[in-house]
Amino acid sequence: MSAWEIFGLHGKTAIDLVLTSLHFMMLSLLSVGGTLATAPDMQNFLVVIHGWMNDAQFTSSIAIGQAAPGPNVLFVALLGLNVAGFAGAIITLVSIMLPSSFLTLRVGRLRLKRADSLFLRAFTSGLSPLTLGLLLSTGWLLTAPTRGEWGAIVLIVLTVVVMVRTKTSPLVLIAIGALAGMLGLV
């Protein structure tokens, strides 16, 4: 595919785009543990159900998002880019943020004094195990293009150990990953 094709819609119809937008708006309201926790559902929708991209493209989108500065949520724009070029990028990014931001705007104006109230504590502690499960699911899905390869397994374990045990910048690890990939180690 030529790079300039990202200015086109990749043959998607208006209905495709509206359905994608609605789906991402629903995920926006479910993204309590952050946007990456909704990635398994995005993978299901974009790769499994619609076949609009493959596992390698999905994983690359998240990898590029992690390598660039700024909020994590930007990987969603790259998913949209794979679906329908720049128009798709804007549609998915706006859709994943609009409903949650609108809710935040309303709730923020209530000036909740007690962020530690009983309900809020029950809400966060009830949902944090789900977030953990969703993050592990996201990690699992990202390994799809390299699953079962020894190099990849070693690199994942290395990344996890370094991140948990030291204060190394994730950027350093991403650079090591890129190098390992260029050398054909993973």
Partner 1 sequence: MATTAADDDRSPRKPSSLLELFRVFSRLALQGFGGVIPIAHVELVERERWLSPEEFVELLAIGQVLPGPNIINVAVIFGDRWFGWRGALAAVAGLLTFPLAIVLSLAFVYQSFASLPLVTGALRGMGVVAAGLIVSTAIKLLKTFSGNPLGLPLSLALALAILVLVGFLRWPLIWAVLGLGIPAIAFAWKRLEAKRREARQ
Report if residue 46 touches partner 1, rule: CB under 8 A. no
CB of 49 to partner 1, least distance (A): 9
CB of 28 to partner 1, least distance (A): 6
- Number of residues in contact with partner 1 under rule CB under 8 A: 108
Measured in residues, the chain has a length of 186
Contact set for partner 1, span 74-133 (CB under 8 A): 74, 77-78, 81, 86, 89, 93, 97, 99-101, 103-105, 107-109, 112, 115-116, 118-133
CB of 48 to partner 1, least distance (A): 6
Among 12, 17, 24, 41, binds partner 1 (CB under 8 A): 41
Long-range CB pairs of 54-61, under 8 A, 24+ apart, other chains included:
55/141, 55/144, 55/145, 56/145, 57/82, 58/82, 58/141, 58/142, 58/144, 59/141, 59/142, 59/143, 59/144, 59/145
List, in order, residues 6 or more apart from 95 with CB less than 8 Å away. 20, 21, 22, 23, 24, 25, 28
Contact set for partner 1, span 144-183 (CB under 8 A): 145-146, 152, 155-160, 163-164, 169-171, 173-174, 176-183
